[in-house]
C-alpha cells in the first residue's frame, strides 16, 4: 500500500483579519502528483507557500512524511522541510551557467558527486548539451527545464510547482506538461502543482483539488471532477457544460427535456423536487436518425471537432461536440440523442 507523504488537516491561513484559507484538508500519496486548481485569488498559491514554510498557518496542521511540520504554534523553517520548489518566474541565477544553477543546492555533496548529479539531471531534462550555457541564452521552455532540474537536484521529499508554465505559449505549455509528468513519474517524485489552467492540471496531475474563496470544493481524479462533480462551482469551472431544468419523479428517476434517466448514485432528492441537470458536450451526440431535433445557433471549429451550441424545442441550449466533417449551417436543425453515463443534478 502506498504511504501518505503529505497531509493537510483543517489548515487555515489569514492575512491580518482576512481569512485566505479555511479548513483546507487533503492528502497526497508518495509518488503521486497533485494539483490545486482554481481562479486567481482562490488561495491556491497561499496553500503552496504554507506547505513550503513561507507562510505561517493559524489553524490545523501540515504533516510531511509523518512529521508535523506546521501548526498554529510551531512552524518548521523552510530549509528543514526537505521541499523543492519551482517558481512561476523560475528564479534562475543569471551569473551562473546552467550547470551552476542546477548544482546550486548541492553544497553537501563532494564536487565530483555534485557534478555527477548535475549532469544526470541535465540528461533527464534534455539539456545535457547546454551545461556551460548561461540561462539568458535559453528559451523559456529550456529555462523551465533548468528550474525543474535545480529543484530535483537535492532529491526533495516533495516538489512544489507554482504556475510553472504560465510564461510559456499554449503549444509549449501543453508539450512541457506531459514531459514534466514523465520526468516526475520516472523518478518517483511526489509533487504538488498550482495552476488556474485545467488542461495543465489534467495533463500533469493524478489528483486535483478545485478551490474557490479559500476552500477546497473537491479533491478527486480529473475524470471524477468532470463527470461526477459534487458541487455546482466544480461543475461550472471544470470543462464545459450546460444545465437543463428537470424534476425528480421518484427515487432516483429524473425527467427533463431530453428524456428520463436515473440519477447518478449518491444524488438523493425528494420526489417532485426541481433540479438543474448537468450536460457535457460529449453527452449530446449528433444522430441523423434521431427524431429529436435541435437547431444550430453557434459553432466553433476546433480542428477535429465542431463545438455546436444547439437550441432545443423549449429554447434551452445544450453543447455538442461533433466530428468536423459534419459541417452544419447556423439555423440548421440536426438530429441529436443523449448518451450519458453519469446523470448529475443540482438543487
Q: What CATH number did the domain enclosing 286 receive?
A: 2.40.50.140
Residue with cell 428520463: 260
What pTM did the predictor assign?
0.89
Check whether residue 258 and residue 339 sit in a common domain. Answer: yes
pLDDT of residue 265: 67
* Residues of the chain predicted below pLDDT 50: none
- Classify 37 in phi/psi space as left (phi over 0), alpha (psi -120 to 50) or beta: beta
Interior CA angle at 225 toward 302 and 164, to 5°? 70
CATH label of the domain that carries residue 103: 3.40.50.300
Diameter over CA atoms, the chain:
75
- d(CA 224, CA 210) in angstroms, rounded, equals 12
Contact 245, 276 (CB under 8 A): yes
pLDDT of residue 170: 75
Check whether residue 60 and residue 189 sit in a common domain. Answer: yes
Check whether residue 138 and residue 111 sit in a common domain. Answer: yes
- d(CA 23, CA 215) in angstroms, rounded, equals 7
Backbone angles phi, psi at 97, to 5 degrees: -70, 175
Q: Which of 211, 235, 259 is the last residue of a domain?
A: 235
Q: Which of 235, 263, 288 is the last residue of a domain?
A: 235
C-alpha cell at 335: 438530429
Check whether residue 176 and residue 276 sit in a common domain. Answer: no
Domain with 254, as residue range(s), is 240-346
- Classify 214 in phi/psi space as left (phi over 0), alpha (psi -120 to 50) or beta: left
- d(CA 65, CA 3) in angstroms, rounded, equals 9
- Cα dihedral 113, 129, 178, 193 in deg (nearest 10): 50
Check whether residue 179 and residue 325 sit in a common domain. Answer: no
Check whether residue 66 and residue 176 sit in a common domain. Answer: yes
Check whether residue 210 and residue 340 sit in a common domain. Answer: no
Check whether residue 35 and residue 135 sit in a common domain. Answer: yes
pLDDT of residue 266: 67
Contact 258, 313 (CB under 8 A): no
What's the domain count of the chain?
2
Q: Which of 235, 252, 282 is the last residue of a domain?
A: 235
Check whether residue 113 and residue 153 sit in a common domain. Answer: yes
Check whether residue 299 and residue 203 sit in a common domain. Answer: no
- d(CA 175, CA 327) in angstroms, rounded, equals 30
Amino acid at each position: 500500500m502506498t504511504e501518505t507523504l503529505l497531509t493537510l488537516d483543517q489548515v487555515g491561513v489569514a492575512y491580518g483579519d482576512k481569512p485566505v484559507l479555511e479548513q483546507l484538508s487533503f492528502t497526497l500519496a508518495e509518488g503521486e502528483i497533485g494539483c490545486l486548481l482554481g481562479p486567481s485569488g482562490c488561495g491556491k498559491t497561499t496553500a503552496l507557500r504554507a506547505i513550503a514554510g513561507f507562510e505561517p498557518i493559524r489553524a490545523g496542521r501540515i504533516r510531511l512524511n509523518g512529521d508535523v511540520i506546521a501548526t498554529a504554534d510551531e512552524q518548521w523553517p523552510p530549509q528543514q522541510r526537505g521541499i523543492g520548489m519551482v517558481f512561476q518566474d523560475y528564479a534562475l541565477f543569471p551569473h551562473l551557467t546552467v550547470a551552476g544553477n542546477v548544482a546550486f543546492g548541492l553544497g553537501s555533496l563532494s564536487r565530483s558527486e555534485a557534478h555527477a548529479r548535475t549532469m544526470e539531471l541535465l540528461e533527464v531534462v534534455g539539456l545535457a548539451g547546454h551545461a556551460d550555457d548561461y540561462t539568458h541564452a535559453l528559451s523559456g521552455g529550456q529555462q523551465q527545464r533548468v528550474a525543474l532540474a535545480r529543484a530535483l537536484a537535492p532529491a526533495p521529499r516533495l516538489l512544489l510547482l507554482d504556475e510553472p508554465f504560465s510564461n510559456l505559449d499554449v503549444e509549449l505549455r501543453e508539450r512541457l506538461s506531459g514531459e514534466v509528468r514523465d520526468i516526475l513519474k520516472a523518478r518517483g517524485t511526489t509533487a504538488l502543482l498550482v495552476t488556474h489552467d485545467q488542461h495543465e492540471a489534467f495533463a500533469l496531475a493524478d489528483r486535483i483539488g478545485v478551490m474557490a474563496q479559500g476552500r477546497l470544493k473537491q479533491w478527486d481524479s480529473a475524470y471524477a471532477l468532470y463527470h461526477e462533480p459534487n458541487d455546482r462551482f466544480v461543475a461550472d469551472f471544470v470543462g464545459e457544460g450546460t444545465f437543463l431544468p428537470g424534476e425528480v419523479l421518484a427515487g432516483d428517476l429524473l425527467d427533463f427535456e431530453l428524456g428520463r434517466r436515473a440519477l447518478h448514485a449518491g444524488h438523493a432528492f425528494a420526489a417532485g423536487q426541481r433540479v438543474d441537470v448537468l450536460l457535457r458536450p460529449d453527452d449530446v451526440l449528433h444522430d441523423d436518425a434521431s427524431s429529436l431535433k435541435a437547431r444550430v445557433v453557434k459553432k466553433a471549429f476546433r480542428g477535429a471537432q465542431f463545438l455546436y451550441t444547439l437550441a432545443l424545442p423549449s429554447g434551452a441550449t445544450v453543447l455538442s461536440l461533433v466530428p468536423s466533417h459534419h459541417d452544419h449551417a447556423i439555423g440548421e436543425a440536426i438530429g441529436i440523442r443523449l448518451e450519458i453515463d453519469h446523470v448529475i443534478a443540482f438543487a
